[in-house]
Chains A and B, each alone.
Chain A
Amino acid sequence: EVQLLESGGGLVQPGGSLRLSCAASGFTFSSYAMSWVRQAPGKGLEWVSAISGSGGSTYYADSVKGRFTISRDNSKNTLYLQMNSLRAEDTAVYYCAKQQSDFWSGYYFGGAFDIWGQGTMVTVSS
């Protein structure tokens, strides 16, 4: 069964840091682009960042560029999101999502988000 399991969320003060992890199973992890998508309480979905299967290409939303870093360890089937200089507006449930293919093989820019984790809550507050 294809599965994604996020961890690492919690309460952090403004200006602090947090690292989220997403453990993948049931598919060849290195063959797929992966993304992080967040959802503030009561709000809609916001794409945060994406990474190619090899980890060599990364993309960020303007709202997190320069503060967040996406990475992956294909030997551990794990996706990461390092979040620094956190702000109150970063408070959200963070989902990791598998894309339908890698960026340049199969679907254009990796396709849609076909598998989602259950999410991990990040709260930025003093």
Chain B
Amino acid sequence: EIVLTQSPATLSLSPGERATLSCRASQSVSSYLAWYQQKPGQAPRLLIYDASNRATGIPARFSGSGSGTDFTLTISSLEPEDFAVYYCQQRSNWPNTFGQGTKLEIK
């Protein structure tokens, strides 16, 4: 099973700042990595698929990069609605696996 490790566990920033979230895989997942946002009491929402492609309706301030084992989700300028938990997920091998999440909180 491929293990995804996200860092940091918690990120404290202010609106307007840039956020950089990391996801590292225990072995190469090529570009088969996605990022999801989850707010309290809500289902996850797809942000980025195949490492760098924004999903439909996702604002341009969200971007993804990386391949192989190291991936980054960047939010260029934080809006109040961006404070949430973010998960990465790989589908390179069965089983699909998720990272443990990064909580982005308001500083």
Contact = CB atoms under 8 A, between A and B. Distances in A.
B43 A117 contact: yes
A61 B93 CA distance: 12
Interface in A6-51: 35, 37, 44-47, 50
A64 B96 CA distance: 14
B44 A113 contact: yes
Interface residues of B, number: 24
B89 A95 contact: no
Contact of A95 (B44, B46, B55): B44
Interface residues of A, number: 25
Contacts of A109: 32, 91, 94
Interface in B63-104: 87, 89, 91, 94-101
Contact of B96 (A47, A62, A95): A47
A62 B95 contact: yes
Contacts of A35: 96
Contact of B87 (A45, A60, A61, A116): A45
Contacts of B97: 47
Contact of A112 (B1, B34, B38): B34
Interface in A59-118: 59-62, 95, 100, 107-114, 116-118
A119 interface: yes
B49 A44 contact: no
A22 B101 CA distance: 26
Contact of A46 (B32, B43, B55, B98): B98
B26 to A, nearest CB: 16
B46 A112 contact: yes
B96 A44 contact: no
Given A62-B1, A62-B95, 9 more contacts: A44-B87, A44-B101, A47-B98, A59-B95, A60-B95, A109-B32, A112-B46, A112-B89, A117-B43
